[in-house]
Amino acid sequence: MSDPCSGDGLLAEDEQAAIAVRIQAIRQTLPNTVRLIAVSKTHSAAHVRAAYAAGIRDFGENRVQEAIEKQAQLQDLADVTWHLLGPLQSNKARKAVDHFDWIHSLDSLALAERLDRIAAEQQRSPQICLQVKLRHDPSKSGWSRDELFSQLPQLSKYKELRISGVMTIAPLGLETVETLRLFEEARDLAEQVHAEAKRQRWSNMLMNQLSMGMSEDYLLAVKAGSTLVRLGRTIFGSRG
Ligand SMILES: *Cc1c(COP(=O)(O)O)cnc(C)c1O
């Protein structure tokens, strides 16, 4: 008998069914244009398998090492797209490029330069979101609007990066209207960067993706135009 908590193996049937039901319910609230990323951090490879069986192909992780260990148990799932959502230390950049298809948490020029160099060496270019922070939030990192605009010309030089969009995390405790406004500001910011990149012919900046919305606020994010929602607890339950 395999232990459902020990990583590999399968979950109990009722737990698998519960995950499938939650995913179905969430899908009904999402337009077809929105990609659903199941955030599997702290959950086992068996949880990833259950969500995969229910149709999920995008998985999000916060920590590079945890993801690598899980991926090693899931090598038979060939068509999974892995998203790195959490802060990335520069000494993990190479592993991040090797093990993720998307990096949502690019938050500095120094990291951008490093990822660009590694991507060239590895011949592997993850899609990138620029993490922005539009409200005071000491627990999160990210560019402010002004910092981002002033650093765009430098970002445009990192030709190996496929800068696909903007990512943001709403601070805890905002009112509904404030959260919606925050997401709308992130959308407007992405549109302005997109326009600037087009004007300047910066070919590494497509900027047509918006990574925003978590379990508590994803419907507001979708209302504001999110294209990538990142849901953990509403799919897998609480992280204990
Ligand atoms: C954990 C996490 C999520 C998922 O959060 P839930 O509240 O479980 O939906 C999404 N994005 C990031 C960056 C996270 O760290």
Domain residue ranges of the chain, discontinuous segments joined by +: 13-236
Rounded distance between C-alpha atoms, residue 139 and residue 101, angstroms: 26
**pLDDT for the residue 240:** 74
Nearest CA to ligand 1 atom 6: 232
| Spacing, Cα 166 to ligand 1 middle (Å) | 16
Burial code (b: 16+ CB inside 10 Å, e: under 16) for 8-40 equals eeebeeebbebbbebbeebeeebeeebbbbbbb
| Residue 157 alpha carbon to ligand 1 centre in Å | 30
| Local structure of 179: helix, strand or coil | helix
Residue 236 Cα: closest atom of ligand 1: 8
User: Using 50, 70 and 90 to split pLDDT, how confident is the model at 210?
Assistant: very high
Distance between CA atoms of residues 13 and 75, nearest Å: 22
Residue 58 has pLDDT above 90, yes or no: yes
Architecture of domain 13-236: Alpha-Beta Barrel (3.20)
The predicted pLDDT at position 226 comes to: 98
Say yes or no to pLDDT of 156 above 50: yes
* Mean pLDDT along residues 176-184: 98
Evaluate if residue 147 carries a pLDDT over 60. yes
> Ligand 1, from 19, 26, 29, 39: best to mutate by most atoms within 8 Å of Cβ?
39
Q: Which whole-number Å values give the CA distances from 151 to 108, 109, 110, 154, in the listed order?
A: 9, 8, 11, 5
Q: Tell me whether strands 35-39 and 228-231 are parallel, antiparallel or unpaired.
A: parallel
Residues in the chain, total: 240
Average pLDDT over residues 49-59: 98
Q: How confident is the model at residue 113 (pLDDT cuts 50, 70, 90)?
A: very high
**Beta strand 228-231 pairing with 102-106:** unpaired
Q: Distance (Å, rounded) from C-alpha 22 to C-alpha 235?
A: 6
Question: What's the pLDDT score for residue 192?
Answer: 98
Amino acid 203: pLDDT: 96
Q: What is the mean pLDDT of residues 50-56?
A: 98
**pLDDT given for residue 76 in this prediction:** 97
Determine the distance separating the centroid of ligand 1 and the alpha carbon of 200, expressed in angstroms.
34
Structure confidence at residue 189 (pLDDT): 98
CA of 214 to the centre of ligand 1 (A): 6
Q: How far is the CA of 84 from the centre of ligand 1 (A)?
A: 11
Please give the share of the chain, as a percent, with pLDDT higher than 70: 97
d(CA 233, CA 38): 9
Q: Is 13 helix (H, G, I), strand (E, B) or coil?
A: helix
Pocket of ligand 1 (CB under 6 A): 39, 41, 62, 85-86, 169, 214-215, 230-234
What pTM was computed for the model? 0.96
Beta-carbon contacts of residue 152 (< 8 Å; ≥ 6 apart): 193, 196, 197, 202, 205
Q: What is the pLDDT of residues 1-17, one digit of tens each?
A: 334 444 468 999 999 99
Mean pLDDT of the chain: 95
Q: Candidates 85, 132, 216: which one to mutate for ligand 1, based on the most atoms within 8 Å of Cβ?
A: 85
Would you say residue 219 has pLDDT above 80?
yes
Reply yes or no on whether the pLDDT at 234 is more than 70.
yes
Atom 10 of ligand 1 has which residue's CA nearest to it?
230
Q: In sequence order, what are the beta bridge partners of 167?
A: 131, 211
Question: How far is Cα 54 from Cα 186, in angstroms, rounded to an integer?
Answer: 31
Average pLDDT estimate for 84-106: 98
Q: What is the pLDDT of residue 239?
A: 86
pLDDT number for residue 4: 41
Q: Which of 83, 214, 236 to mutate to test the pocket of ligand 1 (most atoms within 8 A of CB)?
A: 214
pLDDT at 8: 63
